[in-house]
Structure 1
Amino acid sequence: MDVRLVRIDDRLIHGQVATVWAKQTGIERIIVVSDVVAQDEMQKFLLNQAAPPGIKANVVTIDKMLEVFHNILFLNAKVMLLFTCPQDVERLVRAGIRFSSVNIGGMRFAAGKKMLTNVISLSEDDVRAFKYLYGQGIELEVRQVPADRKVNFMDLLSRFR
């Protein structure tokens, strides 16, 4: 699998992802990797409809992603992997899948989370997962769209509390 972008954005496929990131990365498939989303038939349907013309969209569980990641059928597939939270990325990495970089988009505010930026809110579990990913040598960068300047997520996190 030719993973062109790994992105955490709990909005999943939306205007920026569907147009700007897809065009910039030259992908042909968007794969949403989430056990929660994969169980929601309505959300799966809507995500398939949100994909830009000519780009396939799939929603899979983490176990399914582990099963198909090295499958010969997807060897040359140019994909964007979308996640709702860093814990799901961590599960793939712990299972042996390696990424060089993770882009952090939006993580909405909810009970038990603190705002890091105006679009990223974190729980203690989120912080732990990001620290694990960073410890694995994965670049963690924040950008809403490709034209934005890369911001080092760990620099932001060092000022968090």
Structure 2
Amino acid sequence: MSGPNLLLTRIDNRLIHGQVGVTWVNHLGANLVVVANDKVAEDEVQQNLMDMVLPDVIQTRYFTLQKTIDIIHKAAPRQKIFIVVRDVHDALVLKEGGVPIDHINVGNMHFEEGKKQISSTVSVDDKDIAAFKRLDELGVELDLRRVPEERGQNIMKLL
């Protein structure tokens, strides 16, 4: 049996918003967006707000990281899955937990105290850099780009 039909995993601390809900979903041809985040999995208000961004034909699931790890391999072949996580640490937990992530789109990581800005939309600290290096060691392609039309950059060259 083959693995889940995982189209892409995106790191975006905003999770589902216009860019993800319209541009990326259409570009990928996804019919299921899985938000893998422990806090959002328990927050129905946030889930409802994110659902409003997506067309009705796109299904969403809001899972904890562990639930994503536990059930991703049970996905039906017809499910074209786009996983969205809040940060690089969530992505690393999924990868190390056995989710077959081989390509990550690094879209948005807000600037905050103690982080350095490496692109117009991505800021990192030492823990983020260590997590990106671990993903790179695990063979994950790390592509920094906001929108599909943009030319991506290997984030490892910017760290």
TM-score higher than 0.5: yes
In structure 2, the partner of 1:13 is: 16
Post-superposition CA distance 1:44-66 (Å, at most 9, x none): 12112222231011211011101
User: Does structure 1 residue 69 correspond to structure 2 residue 55?
Assistant: no
**2:90 paired residue number:** 88
CA distance in 1, matches of 2:12, 2:93: 17
User: RMSD in angstroms over aligned alpha carbons?
Assistant: 1.3
Which residue of 2 is the match for residue 52 of structure 1? 55
Q: Structure 1, residues 24-55: CA drift from partner, whole Å, max 9, x if none? A: 11110111100122122211121122222310
Q: Which residue of 1 aligns with 2:139?
A: 137
Given that 1:47 and 1:57 are in contact with CA atoms closer than 8 Å, whether structure 2 keeps it comes out as no
Matches of 2:139 and 2:112 in 1, distance apart? Answer: 29
Q: 2:116 and 2:13 mapped to 1: Cα distance?
A: 16
Structure 1 consecutive aligned stretches of length 4 or more whose deviation exceeds 4 Å:
none
Q: Does 1:22 align with 2:22?
A: no
Contact 1:35 1:60 in 2 (8 A): yes
TM-score, normalised with respect to structure 1? 0.91
Paired-residue identity, %:
35
Q: Does 1:128 align with 2:130?
A: yes
Q: Distance in 2 between matches of 1:121 and 1:35?
A: 22
Indicate whether 1:2 and 2:33 are aligned. Answer: no
Gapped runs of 5+ residues in structure 1?
Answer: none
Contact 1:34 1:88 in 2 (8 A): yes
Aligned counterpart in structure 2 of residue 154 of structure 1, from 149, 153, 156: 156
Q: What is the TM-score when the length of structure 2 is the normalising length?
A: 0.92
The alpha-carbon deviation at position 74 of structure 1 amounts to: 2.9
Letter paired with 2:116 = K
In the alignment of these two chains, the number of paired residues is 156
- Whichever residue aligns with residue 154 of structure 1, its letter is M
CA distance in 2: counterparts of 1:111 and 1:40, whole angstroms? 26
Distance (Å, rounded) in 2 between the aligned partners of 1:76 and 1:67: 19
Flag structure 2 segments of 5+ consecutive residues without an equivalent: none
Question: What's the offset of the Cα at 1:86?
Answer: 0.8
How far apart are 1:82 and its partner, in Å?
0.1
Q: 1:40 aligns with which of 43, 68, 92?
A: 43
Q: Which residue identity lines up with residue 101 of structure 1 in the other structure?
A: H
* One-letter code aligned to 1:32: V
My pick for the range that moved more, 73-82 or 87-96, is: 73-82
CA–CA separation in structure 1 for the residues paired with 2:78 and 2:131: 29
